[in-house]
Amino acid sequence: MARAPWLWPLLRSPTRRFFSARASGWDERTGAGGVEHLTPLAAAALRVGRAPERVLDVGCGTGEGTLFFAREFPQARVRGVDLSEEMIAAAVAKVGLDPEGRIAFKVGDAAALPHPDDSFDLVAQLNMPPFFEELVRVLRPGGYVIVVSSWGSRTPFYTRPGLLRWKFLERGVEPVEIGAAGAGTFYVGRLEGGD
Ligand SMILES: C[S@@+](CC[C@H](N)C(=O)[O-])C[C@H]1O[C@@H](n2cnc3c(N)ncnc32)[C@H](O)[C@@H]1O
C-alpha cells in the first residue's frame, strides 16, 4: 500500500473481511499486548519529545497499542480507529463505549480518516500499511508520527525504513529516530512547524 495506494479501493473489502473474521481470539493467537508486540512501540514512545495531548492509533485492531498509549501518556486523550467493526468491538469491550471519554475507538479507514485536519499531536500505527497523506493531514504542526513493525521485516505489513523516511520527508516530516527494539523495528518522525 505504501507504494501503490491507488490499489486500496480494490483491497478494502477483502482486507476488512480478512480481519473481521479473525477478530475473535486475536490477542490469544497473535500475542497482541504481550512484551514482543509492544517492545518496539515502547522504544518509539521514548523518542516523543513532549507528552502529547491527543493521540491516534491507526489500524488499532483490538486496541492493545491504544491502551499502551493511554498508560504511557496518562494526560492524553487517546483514540483508536480501525477498518473492521469486529476489531473495534473487541477493543471497545476492554474499556467500554464512551465516544467522548479519555480512550475511545471508532470504525474508520486510514485512507480517509474520520478526523479533522491538525487534530492529533501523536499519530501512530502498529503493524499496519501506512497511508502517508492521511497520517500527516490529521497531525498538528510539530506533532510526532510513529510507525512500528513488531516483528521487523517478518511483520506481514512491514514497510522498509528507507521508504518511510522518504515518503514522510516529502510531506514535511523529519526523521527523529529509526531503530530496532526486541524483535521489531520503529520509525519516529516529527512534522515541521509548531513551537
Ligand atoms: C495486523 S493488524 C494490527 C492491529 C494492531 N495495530 C496490532 O498491532 O495489534 C492490522 C489491522 O489494521 C486494520 N486495517 C487494515 N487496513 C486498514 C485501513 N485502511 N484503515 C484502518 N484499519 C485498517 C485491520 O482491520 C487490522 O485490525
pLDDT band at 22 (very low <50, low <70, confident <90, very high): very high
Q: Where are the domains of the chain?
A: 31-191
Would you state the pLDDT for residue 136?
98
pLDDT band at 110 (very low <50, low <70, confident <90, very high): very high
128 lines ligand 1 (CB under 6 A): yes
Average pLDDT estimate for 166-185: 97
Residue entry with cell 467500554: 96
109 lines ligand 1 (CB under 6 A): yes
How many angstroms is it from 61 CA to the middle of ligand 1? 5
pLDDT band at 162 (very low <50, low <70, confident <90, very high): very high
Would you state the pLDDT for residue 98?
81
CA 180, 186, 192, 195 torsion-angle sign: negative
Average pLDDT estimate for 172-190: 98
CA 95, 100, 102, 105 torsion-angle sign: positive
Res 46 pLDDT > 80? yes
Res 47 pLDDT > 90? yes
Res 7 pLDDT > 90? no
What is the residue-averaged pLDDT of the chain?
A: 95
Mention the CATH class of domain 31-191.
Answer: alpha beta
What are the pLDDT digits (tens) for 51-105?
Answer: 999 999 999 999 999 999 999 999 999 999 999 999 999 999 999 888 788 999 9
Residue entry with cell 473474521: 21
Would you state the pLDDT for residue 4?
76
How many angstroms is it from 43 CA to the middle of ligand 1? 21
pLDDT band at 3 (very low <50, low <70, confident <90, very high): confident
| For the CA of 23, the nearest atom of ligand 1 | 27
48 lines ligand 1 (CB under 6 A): no
Res 170 pLDDT > 80? yes
Pocket test for ligand 1, best of 83, 88, 154 (most atoms within 8 A of CB): 83
| For the CA of 30, the nearest atom of ligand 1 | 9
How many angstroms is it from 71 CA to the middle of ligand 1? 21
56 lines ligand 1 (CB under 6 A): no
